[in-house]
Amino acid sequence: NAGVTQTPKFQVLKTGQSMTLQCAQDMNHEYMSWYRQDPGMGLRLIHYSVGAGITDQGEVPNGYNVSRSTTEDFPLRLLSAAPSQTSVYFCASSSSQGRGYGYTFGSGTRLTVV
C-alpha cells in the first residue's frame, strides 16, 4: 500500500514559470488537502477537497489552483511562480468515516523559486 505519493520530490523554478505538483493516494480516501510548510509557521492549508469534483480554498490559496477529477488524484498548480512560494509542500488524505478519520501525509515536495 503506497499511501500518499507526491511528485516531484525537488523542483527549482524561475520566477513566472508554472508547474503542477502531483499527488495521488490509493486508500480510497474522500478528503484530500494541500499544505505548505515554512520555518516557524507550522503547516498552512492551501486548498482542500471533500470528494471528486469538490474543492475549496484554505488559509493561503492565492497563486495556486486545484482540481479533483478522480478520487485518487489532487494536483496543485502554481500559475506564475514567485519567490514567496519557495516552501515545502505536503499533500494529505483522510477517510471521512468516523474513527478512520486522520490525515495521512505524503513525503513532500521541496520547491525553490529563483
Partner 1 sequence: AQSVTQPDIHITVSEGASLELRCNYSYGATPYLFWYVQSPGQGLQLLLKYFSGDTLVQGIKGFEAEFKRSQSSFNLRKPSVHWSDAAEYFCAVGARNAGNMLTFGGGTRLMVKP
By CB under 8 A, name the binding residues for partner 1: 4, 31, 33, 35, 40-45, 48-50, 56, 58, 90, 92, 94, 96, 98-99, 101-108
CA–CA distance, 74 with 23 (Å, rounded to integer): 5
Q: Which is nearer to partner 1, 17 or 65 (CB)?
A: 65
Q: Are 113 and 38 in contact (CB under 8 A)?
A: no
Q: How far apart are CA 39 and CA 23, in angstroms?
A: 23
* C-alpha cell recorded at residue 14: 524561475
Q: How far apart are CB 15 and partner 1 at their closest, in Å?
A: 26
Could you tell me the smallest distance in angstroms from the CB atom of residue 83 to partner 1? 22
Distance of alpha carbon 95 from alpha carbon 62, whole angstroms? 27
Nearer to partner 1, 45 or 52 (CB): 45
- Whose Cβ is closer to partner 1: residue 35's or residue 64's? 35
